[in-house]
Chain A
């Protein structure tokens, strides 16, 4: 639907759907990205679109990568969750395990029953936590502070595979619903349950980091390497997407009517099969669910095998190092008795997280392009990279105009590809990533252009270049504006110093809402109604917006357009879109009014995210008036 741009008057989504499963928000995200990323974020490149067209004609999926861009663990855990329709993330079953021949099935006989649900959580913890713990054993030393010190890192980390983004969302919400539960008091849960919640939250958070391989979903992993001859919306069906890759279009059409990969079940299955089984507590339920999940289980392992055949990109291990760092840090945090992750980041934490995600996205985009000529080709098509042949080289050129003579070889590169760079731009060649090539001049020559480049770095310390460090005449080079150079982040204040513009220092996270859980209401017998507290009405709307002093209320302005599906080929975009960026206008309090210059220019770009966090507290209806935002109800 072609919608006009959001009118300025409409206050964009304040609080709802910052991390919705769809993960696509019409937010002004583009401006927080450095330009090259626009290429990979959301827009389908002509190269990928052409591959889809080729897939249609060939009747088979087509590759869009020549190497594997994710770490593939030798012993991953596959986890396929199923939920109960209608409920808020109520688990129905899960098939999980590390051995393709021995799937473990966990089921919930009565998904609406709270105790059954926590038994499921405890069982899942019994399966998952020992697997995670098995990696928290051997460590290695990692030099830090230029080799003056070392820190420890586990030599390996776990890897969890789910079928689709919905599966990862399930884990995130299940983590949210379990990590605050109390193991003592009136309604204790087994100690493993909140621990599971914290682990799941950790994995769900790391899945948002572009390039992280701790929690991987199969659809995204496949989409990173192959495109099908159908729309990305149709690719969201795991069985169909895999069939395109394994067998082709015809098999894919047949797979459309096969069992779903969860977490939602098919309504028809619910009505015909599941409902009668649950109603009469039929002991056949586990077997039925086993049969339902088994095809997906097998497809997951076939997906792993398919990806294993691709050689890993050169920079994939670097990103796995980062994953291991994250795993080590979180395992240590747990061991030291750190608190559960907050429901919502404070302003400074949100800004820091956004910065980390942006850096990860930039790094991931560059690393993929440098690892994979097919990814780099997208940049060549858009003019951000070009290939050419060295026609002249002066490897011994020394620039002695400064205080000290420096080695500055020059080379001439002839290219027939479009060159969309200006003189003065610094380019990099993936074959010599530590060397910079500054564009001196670009002149039309023959059927293309001659680009004169001055090189610096990556040639040793002397005034004579190390052999092989300067491209020689006849060598074919690809040069790009992408760079792996370190991007320093902005400095952020201490959380305790959060300026008032950003809500001031974060207050204590409201008490966990599962404080007084009781039996889950059955849908057939609605629970008794809580007597509304007349003294302090809930801080909720606003039937009369012009009332004297309405309570601060989130105003939502959903976009009418159904959000476009994020192409699975662009996980970085998907992940980044999930960054809690919101519009300052959404703030009901004065928080949105101004940016404190104390936060510095670097923060301006992430200002929106920061201020969006604050009203969450201001408008959070969790108030003493309603302490019992129970998982269930009294």
Chain B
């Protein structure tokens, strides 16, 4: 069976969930999780799956935030991008091209037009571009906010975000997320240039983040250096190629068709190993299920806690070693001694 039909089978009857920059960025957040890698590769609707098996997560977005984000972007792009040009400090005569909506249902047309435009290599602001990136053998379509062709012929990805930068400070989590997302676009843009026979290094590793400044609605642009994110992404994406191996190792006929009974879905999930960490709770739709599955493991308490406990897998084991109820294995000897000392000190202080 071909790889893609194998993935179709895993997904079942539902429509494939397309990867986007956000999900690709999330992949790099927990690269060791086979479950996420396989489900994402197959385009399984994880939100639906989590609900079906009774572990819904909450990943909504407030419409206040949405409307502010849209208003901010619309304001920047109004009047032939006047405000955006001023904040990016680009010349007024720079072409602005809005690739707009798709002319047909496939996305291929717009991505072809994007490629044409970039092949022409004219200085321009390109709105609504559509890029492609190969993720684990699949073509994924990506929509950056904007690509800017700067004066010296370098391409720059522009990300428009609606979180505020106050006195030159912003929430680091949000800036990190924006940087990883922009790095995905840089990667896709470089891949495109390579296909077009251009030098991929024309795409700058510095991306521009445009945000509202302070408590106002005025934009401010800052430059983010995403080299580090790029190298992380490249490493993770090359790892993802091995998703084929993972899929091949799954039992024949395995599927996550949402039409199945919850119990069947749960047992299907049992075939792919997850690597739950508390950070998943804010990044993965299936995390609540994985958390319940990981109950009793030290990893569910967080990586630092797990390390402080000597890397021992389960909480039961930790306590058994600390209380001397269990003989430590050779590599556990040192950890067991520390745990016993810790328990003695705790008991002494609490008595």
Binding site for B on A (CB under 8 A): 1, 3-4, 6-7, 9-11, 13-22, 24-25, 43-54, 56-57, 63, 66, 84-89, 173, 176-177, 229-234, 265-268, 270-271, 274-275, 343-344, 372-374, 376-377, 380-381, 417, 513-514, 521, 523-527, 529-532, 537-538, 540-547, 553-565, 567, 616, 619-621, 626, 628-633
In the bound complex, residues from chain A placing their C-beta under 8 Å from that of B224 are 555-558
| A381→B338 contact, CB < 8 A | yes
Q: Which residue in chain B gives the minimum CB-CB distance to A539? A: B89
A-B CB contacts (within 8 Å), total count: 333
Scoring A231, A525, A619, A620 by chain B CB atoms within 10 A of each residue's CB, the highest score goes to A231
26 contacts between A and B (CB under 8 A): A1-B31, A10-B227, A16-B168, A22-B172, A24-B172, A47-B346, A49-B301, A52-B305, A86-B62, A86-B64, A88-B212, A230-B300, A233-B279, A381-B345, A513-B214, A523-B64, A523-B67, A523-B68, A529-B82, A532-B85, A541-B208, A558-B172, A558-B224, A560-B179, A619-B168, A620-B168
In the bound complex, residues from chain B placing their C-beta under 8 Å from that of A630 are 216, 218
In the bound complex, residues from chain A placing their C-beta under 8 Å from that of B279 are 233, 562
Q: Does B114 contact A (CB under 8 A)?
A: no
In the bound complex, residues from chain B placing their C-beta under 8 Å from that of A559 are 172, 176, 228
In the bound complex, residues from chain A placing their C-beta under 8 Å from that of B90 are 543
Taken together as a complex, chains A and B put the C-alpha atoms of A145 and B67 apart, in Å, by 60
Known: A17-B169, A543-B154, A543-B156. 12 other contacts (CB 8 A): A48-B305, A50-B343, A86-B69, A89-B215, A176-B167, A230-B301, A231-B305, A234-B281, A266-B58, A374-B349, A557-B224, A631-B214
Closest CB-CB distance, B201 to chain A, in whole Å? Answer: 13
Closest CB-CB distance, B120 to chain A, in whole Å? Answer: 18
Closest CB-CB distance, B235 to chain A, in whole Å? Answer: 9
Binds A, one of B1-9, B96-104, B240-248, B314-322: B314-322
Scoring A526, A541, A564 by chain B CB atoms within 10 A of each residue's CB, the highest score goes to A541
With A526-B74, A541-B222 already in contact, the answer to whether A616 and B64 are too (CB < 8 A) is: no
| A267→B61 contact, CB < 8 A | yes
| A562→B89 contact, CB < 8 A | no
Q: Does B266 contact A (CB under 8 A)?
A: no
Q: Does B225 contact A (CB under 8 A)?
A: yes
| B228→A557 contact, CB < 8 A | yes
In the bound complex, residues from chain B placing their C-beta under 8 Å from that of A543 are 88-90, 148, 150-151, 154, 156, 208
| A380→B345 contact, CB < 8 A | yes
In the bound complex, residues from chain B placing their C-beta under 8 Å from that of A558 are 172, 175-176, 178-179, 224, 229
| B278→A18 contact, CB < 8 A | no
| A377→B349 contact, CB < 8 A | yes
Q: Does B165 contact A (CB under 8 A)?
A: yes
How many residues of B are in contact with the other chain, CB < 8 A?
111
| A232→B151 contact, CB < 8 A | no
| A529→B79 contact, CB < 8 A | yes
In the bound complex, residues from chain B placing their C-beta under 8 Å from that of A47 are 342, 345-346
In the bound complex, residues from chain A placing their C-beta under 8 Å from that of B64 are 84-87, 270, 274-275, 523
| A540→B300 contact, CB < 8 A | no
Closest CB-CB distance, B220 to chain A, in whole Å? Answer: 6
| B217→A527 contact, CB < 8 A | yes
Taken together as a complex, chains A and B put the C-alpha atoms of A479 and B301 apart, in Å, by 32
With A45-B308, A46-B308, A558-B172 already in contact, the answer to whether A524 and B71 are too (CB < 8 A) is: yes
Q: Which residue in chain B gives the minimum CB-CB distance to A177? A: B215
Taken together as a complex, chains A and B put the C-alpha atoms of A412 and B85 apart, in Å, by 77
With A47-B345, A63-B350, A532-B83 already in contact, the answer to whether A537 and B89 are too (CB < 8 A) is: yes
In the bound complex, residues from chain B placing their C-beta under 8 Å from that of A540 are 87-89, 220-222
Q: Which chain B residues in 291-347 approach chain A with CB under 8 Å?
A: 296, 298, 300-310, 315-316, 318-319, 322, 338-339, 341-343, 345-346
